[in-house]
Structure 1
Amino acid sequence: MAQSPIAHADDEVAAGQQCDLIIIGAGIYGIQAARTYLELHPTAKVNILEASSSIGGVWSHERIYDAFWTQTPLGILGFSDQPMHDVPKEECYYGFFKAKHVSTYLKRYCEDHVYDGSSLGSRVQMQTKVGSVKKDEGEWHVQCNDGEISFRSRHLFDASGLTSTPNWPSLPSQSEFRGMIIHHKEFASFERRLAASPEKKRSIAVLGGAKSAADVAYSCAKAGMDVTWIIRRSGSGPAALVSAKGKAGYANSNELSYTRMTSLFLASIFSPAMGYHWLSHWLNRSMAGRWLVKKLWQQTQDEAVEEADYDREDGKANGFANLRPDTDLFWQNDSTGVNQRKDFFDVIAQKVKVVREDISHLDSTGLVLHDTDRSHVDADIIVCATGWKLDHPYYSEESAVAFGLPVRNHLLDPSTKTRWLKLEQDAEADVLRRFPILDSEWAYRQSAYPRYTETVETPFRLWKSMVPPSDSSLVFLGKLMLGNHFRDAEVQALFACAVLDGNARLPVKPEMEQDIARTTVWCRRRYLRKGLSGNWFYWDTIPYHDSLLAHIGLSAHRGKSWMQDLFRPGFSEDLQGLLPEYRGKYY
């Protein structure tokens, strides 16, 4: 592979600690990447760099609050070699449970995994903030804490994920507001401060339409606060919250979602790796198949709407109907979550005022909306549950362009822009031939997806959503959004190790770019606004993972019979055979 165009490292960085592998981030991707690499290379020197004071990323103790529940149930959440067993049944709702148990599980996982006398936990360098990443003469140089410490290695895993840097909304006249403004990332510590003075009544404005905003609004309402939940009219709308309940013999809705049979109804670009080509072809290309796909998705959507009961009487005064999603569930354009609490919709309908409007500006006592009346929302605390920035602060702009990270369009030279536009135009015909449903009247009834030339930032352009076409000694982990990140961490970690070990066949750069362009076009067509970043595979957990494992020739995760292969959920224990199979194949 060609070396990436990176500036030379300075002398201080070049003298850093020598490692066999550097991993940035001690969330679930970094932890699993270290475990997998050390299973294969137990005497290797692996350093995990973590900016915060605890492991786990979004699951770290410092970010856990009481209303934060898992979106993945027991049996499916967790790593294959150490299942979660100690969650009390009374703290579960159809298998979903409080996130605090995940934090405890990860701490124990890091303590229990010991290689060459050192546990995973002992290899994490806490409060080590990466300042710059450069490459010089075949080695990566990672400088941390304003140059106080540095590391060097021939291989680098960037497992910083997508939930590190808060995305702050634009709030005109913010300086006039006399109250407090926090991001969802800080809500756990904020909740602990509130618990210390429960006697004080507070007015809370929650900004955002996704599941994190729903959790914050619910948490504050249960605590007896006056809550107004504001969802931008100009955005993608409120998240669809599907039922946690299972059917057809499945314990919960996730078990049904994470089967290959269900995955055949996704119009997923990764579906060939699952097999069953005749069924996939019929569902995607025949009129009867597409009718069936729409019918089943409509049924699922109707069930979610029925459970929420958006037009209920007890929610009319508070605008509960404003939580009805703007687009059909299939498209995931407005995000999706699982309703993990029996009383969630009742609490929101009765105790939370829901507003669909843009914000004009702030004043000293709250927010002024952009409606014709310039309505005022009183608030002494504003919680911004507005997601995360796709930033990469420790790479130079030149490096970001070379690696395929999202950058402002103007940073690309004209020839590069033209090349990618041509690749995507060529790919679009193939995508629509394979998935006519993405070009149907049903698609156009949803919010029209912006064209490539209208986007401000480029999408992720990583091969397999992991590998920069310019340099395979660097692998990105967790730079995508899908339904089960624990499973993804385990599969991506093994694929990344196969890349470093030379056991994953890497296409030449032009072939990589063609594959990336095809995925980018499909993602925009399939997931509308959410798909603009090229990394939104929310429904595609099983087919995406099948495609990674098929590429390195592994099948231990498949069912033993065709019935089991099609209808068994993707339980975490099903991945137990991957490492033994990988060793047997390549070692």
Structure 2
Amino acid sequence: MESVDVTIIGAGWSGLAALKTYHQVHPDASIVLYDSAASVGGVWAKHRLYAGLKSNNMLGTYEFSDFPMDKSFGVQPGEHIPGHIIQTYMERFLEHFHLTPFVHLNTQVLTAENNSDTTWTLTTRSNDTSRTIHTRKLIVCTGITSTPYLPVFGGQDTFHCPLFHTHDLPKHQSTLFHPPNRITVFGGTKSAWDAVYAAATAGAHVDWVIRENGHGPVWMAPAHVTPLGKWLEKLVTTRLLTWFSPCIWGDADGCSTIRTLLHNTRLGRKLVDAFWSILADDVIKLNKYDSHPETAKLKPWISPFWIASGLSILNYPTDIFALITAGNVTVHIARIARLSLGTVHLSSGTDLPSNALIAATGWQATPTIQFHTAHSLGFPWSQDPIHQDIIHRADKEILSRFPRLRTPPPRSTPFAPLAPGAPATAKHPMRLSRFMVPPALSESKSLVFLGLTMTINTTMIAQAQALWATAYLSDELVLTPRERCPEDLRVKYGSDGSDMDLVWETALHSQFGVHRYRGGFGKRNPDFVFDAVPYVDLLLRDLGLGWTRKGALKWLVPYGVEDYRGLVEEWLQTDRVTSLKDGKKDV
């Protein structure tokens, strides 16, 4: 049996950050990174790229701080980054830091068994060959967009046309997207917008179906918003503006007094509501939703206050709304009732002749790896590892701290999950401390999950999580909760030896998303936008590092990946990192 010090699963942003960081801290450790795809990149792997695919981020905000995307990549300031450039960047990142030999592609990790000595035994499959790997530490970076969710439609066996998830769009784009084909796209997410744009600009007519009992169309903002024309990606990382987002870990930014005034006083809450109203009205006016009956159907149904990473960016080279007003795209607010030969039948009674049905129906958040462990990992479709009494108390605490969350957004139609087993049917949010560590396994320091947060600051968080995970797995970080468990809960449920402060804090942080992001995925996984910088602050505080990163204007200027350049070297020089300096750390 092959034995290694560390195994990383997944070659997306988080996996690459984890590989580079762990190797930098432990240059002599044996490390392997497995990915089932034939190329690195995760969502940007070669097999997932299609013509016209670009990032929501513009140049400078979608890269690692220690490897800037320079002019050799051919992207200009103010441009969104083409998908193939992102994939190339990731390959060159590995080459630059001499990490390519650690990466093993076309290798799927099937099972992970937690041994009594806290190590892990993995089974892998590559080219129909199975192997067993023994690893001391396990870093899972498969994220939440690896396994597509495709529901079963009534009558789909009689449809006799391509029916596929947006994940598989690259396989069909060249054969389907041309006149006079009619393409039906189902869903209101950013991937649905992308599919609609790709099909319509290629000359196909698109029928865009958004179900009336779902979350509705995603918020699509221009790259620059507010009357001041602020760059949206920078807006969400400006500390002054993050204060307007109620956040359970928000006081990690050192501004608890200001946050209390904004979210625990009537005047403060009025200011918060005004901020979100200005942001919403600005986007609605810029997109001219109300100027045409068809574009009016795409106006979001709830305030951006409630949607988290559902806030997306218009990154198309031409105006997608012009395709709609010109009749190239027809929007239908209805459910798909059933399918028949070449036809999609809607609940509204409309029948759509279709040459293909593309489903933008989300992703399964739980890794496909089969975990065998005596302890709960806190996955959303498993039994909740935290007692319901603790959850109910956490709910009361959250609503007490943030009264604005007591009033959910109004809806004209009640929300319903797409189907049994759909992503929205999760039993509970992921129960992970710092959104990375199962509390039941916190003492073993052998397992972390990275990349489960949904934000628009992917690389900033990937870097911070990678360093935090490396320190934690190296036993150079004590996971110290900032929240203290109520004494009666400690007495009642602490008899099994659990760190009740850790359990309580995990309940608060994970349950917070249920109330805060009702229009997003808060019921399933960490999903936030304006709370990314305070989250990084939280991780840096754990690491004993300075979190403000800037001078006197730290509250007024946006943060970017460049502000965290040299973070690993900075941490290695701290007084807390003792055994690594002495060369005594057993990796």
Q: TM-score, normalised by structure 2?
A: 0.87
Q: Which residue identity does 2:562 align to in structure 1?
A: E
Q: CA deviation at 1:121?
A: 2.0
| 1:4 counterpart residue number | none
- Which of 134, 140, 144 does residue 124 from structure 2 map onto? 144
Asked if the contact 1:94–1:252 (Cα under 8 Å) also holds between the matched residues in 2, the reply is: no
- Which of 93, 97, 100 does residue 109 from structure 1 map onto? 93
1:286, 1:164 → 2: CA distance? 42
Identity of aligned residues (%): 29
Mapping of 1:76-475 within 5 angstroms?
76-86=61-71, 94-114=78-98, 120-138=99-117, 139-145=119-125, 148-193=130-175, 201-245=180-224, 252-313=231-292, 316=293, 319-332=294-307, 335-341=310-316, 342-350=318-326, 351-371=328-348, 374-396=349-371, 399=373, 402-408=376-382, 411=383, 420-440=387-407, 443=409, 456-471=426-441, 472-475=445-448
Q: How many residues align?
A: 543
Secondary structure of the corresponding residue to residue 567 of structure 1: coil
Secondary structure of the corresponding residue to residue 470 of structure 1: helix
Matched, 1:573 2:538: no
Matched, 1:523 2:547: no
1:174, 1:449 → 2: CA distance? 24
| Deviation per residue, 1:527-567 (Å, 9 max, x gap) | 01521114222332111111111122111662122x1x112
Q: CA deviation at 1:386?
A: 1.2
- Which of 539, 549, 552 does residue 540 from structure 2 map onto? 549
| Deviation per residue, 1:470-529 (Å, 9 max, x gap) | 223110011221121111111110110111111221255322211111113211110015
Asked if the contact 2:227–2:282 (Cα under 8 Å) also holds between the matched residues in 1, the reply is: no
| 1:51 counterpart residue number | 36
Secondary structure of the corresponding residue to residue 305 of structure 2: helix
- Uncovered stretches (5+) of structure 1, i.e. residues with no partner: 1-14, 115-119
| 2:499 counterpart residue number | 509
1:163, 1:433 → 2: CA distance? 34
Secondary structure of the corresponding residue to residue 306 of structure 1: helix
Asked if the contact 2:73–2:85 (Cα under 8 Å) also holds between the matched residues in 1, the reply is: no
2:336, 2:226 → 1: CA distance? 41
Q: CA deviation at 1:283?
A: 0.9
Q: Which residue identity does 2:124 align to in structure 1?
A: C
1:449, 1:172 → 2: CA distance? 21
Secondary structure of the corresponding residue to residue 475 of structure 1: strand
Secondary structure of the corresponding residue to residue 290 of structure 2: coil
1:33, 1:495 → 2: CA distance? 10
Stretch of structure 1 that moved more, 569-578 or 137-146 = 137-146
1:87, 1:428 → 2: CA distance? 50
Secondary structure of the corresponding residue to residue 522 of structure 2: helix
**Residues 1:95 and 1:509: Cα distance change in structure 2 (over 3 Å):** farther
Q: Which residue identity does 1:300 align to in structure 2?
A: L
| Deviation per residue, 1:199-251 (Å, 9 max, x gap) | x6321111111111001101110000011111111111110111211568776
2:221, 2:547 → 1: CA distance? 31
Secondary structure of the corresponding residue to residue 379 of structure 2: coil
Secondary structure of the corresponding residue to residue 71 of structure 1: strand
Q: CA deviation at 1:153?
A: 1.1
Secondary structure of the corresponding residue to residue 20 of structure 2: helix
1:269, 1:491 → 2: CA distance? 19
Secondary structure of the corresponding residue to residue 20 of structure 1: strand
Stretch of structure 1 that moved more, 201-210 or 533-542 = 533-542
**Residues 1:193 and 1:443: Cα distance change in structure 2 (over 3 Å):** closer
Asked if the contact 1:327–1:334 (Cα under 8 Å) also holds between the matched residues in 2, the reply is: no
1:232, 1:249 → 2: CA distance? 35
| Deviation per residue, 1:318-371 (Å, 9 max, x gap) | x32211111111110792211123512222332211111011110011211112
- Which of 48, 57, 60 does residue 75 from structure 1 map onto? 60
1:424, 1:445 → 2: CA distance? 26
| 2:421 counterpart residue number | none
Q: CA deviation at 1:311?
A: 2.4
Secondary structure of the corresponding residue to residue 62 of structure 1: helix
- Uncovered stretches (5+) of structure 2, i.e. residues with no partner: 417-423, 481-497, 582-587
Q: CA deviation at 1:277?
A: 2.0
More helix by share: 1
| 2:420 counterpart residue number | none
Q: Which residue identity does 1:110 align to in structure 2?
A: L
1:330, 1:88 → 2: CA distance? 36
1:175, 1:446 → 2: CA distance? 34
| Deviation per residue, 1:247-271 (Å, 9 max, x gap) | 6877622112211111111101121
1:542, 1:349 → 2: CA distance? 39
Asked if the contact 2:236–2:529 (Cα under 8 Å) also holds between the matched residues in 1, the reply is: no
Secondary structure of the corresponding residue to residue 38 of structure 1: helix
**Residues 1:400 and 1:235: Cα distance change in structure 2 (over 3 Å):** farther
Q: TM-score, normalised by structure 1?
A: 0.87
Q: CA RMSD, aligned part only?
A: 2.4
Secondary structure of the corresponding residue to residue 281 of structure 1: helix
Secondary structure of the corresponding residue to residue 209 of structure 1: coil
Stretch of structure 1 that moved more, 206-215 or 511-520 = 511-520
Mapping of 1:3-22 within 5 angstroms?
15=1, 17-22=2-7
Q: CA deviation at 1:447?
A: 8.2
**Residues 1:534 and 1:28: Cα distance change in structure 2 (over 3 Å):** closer
2:6, 2:82 → 1: CA distance? 33
**Residues 1:446 and 1:568: Cα distance change in structure 2 (over 3 Å):** farther
| Deviation per residue, 1:57-93 (Å, 9 max, x gap) | 111122122332212222221101011123788x668
Q: Which residue identity does 1:76 align to in structure 2?
A: T
| 1:31 counterpart residue number | 16
Stretch of structure 1 that moved more, 239-248 or 461-470 = 239-248
1:44, 1:134 → 2: CA distance? 21
Secondary structure of the corresponding residue to residue 133 of structure 2: strand
- Which of 63, 70, 81 does residue 48 from structure 2 map onto? 63
Asked if the contact 2:225–2:279 (Cα under 8 Å) also holds between the matched residues in 1, the reply is: no
1:142, 1:93 → 2: CA distance? 44
1:272, 1:376 → 2: CA distance? 53
Stretch of structure 1 that moved more, 424-433 or 141-150 = 141-150
Secondary structure of the corresponding residue to residue 113 of structure 2: strand
| 1:496 counterpart residue number | 469
Q: Which residue identity does 1:338 align to in structure 2?
A: I
Stretch of structure 1 that moved more, 97-106 or 216-225 = 97-106
| 2:551 counterpart residue number | 560
**Residues 1:168 and 1:553: Cα distance change in structure 2 (over 3 Å):** same
1:501, 1:250 → 2: CA distance? 45
**Residues 1:547 and 1:448: Cα distance change in structure 2 (over 3 Å):** farther
1:400, 1:220 → 2: CA distance? 48
2:222, 2:5 → 1: CA distance? 46
1:337, 1:47 → 2: CA distance? 34
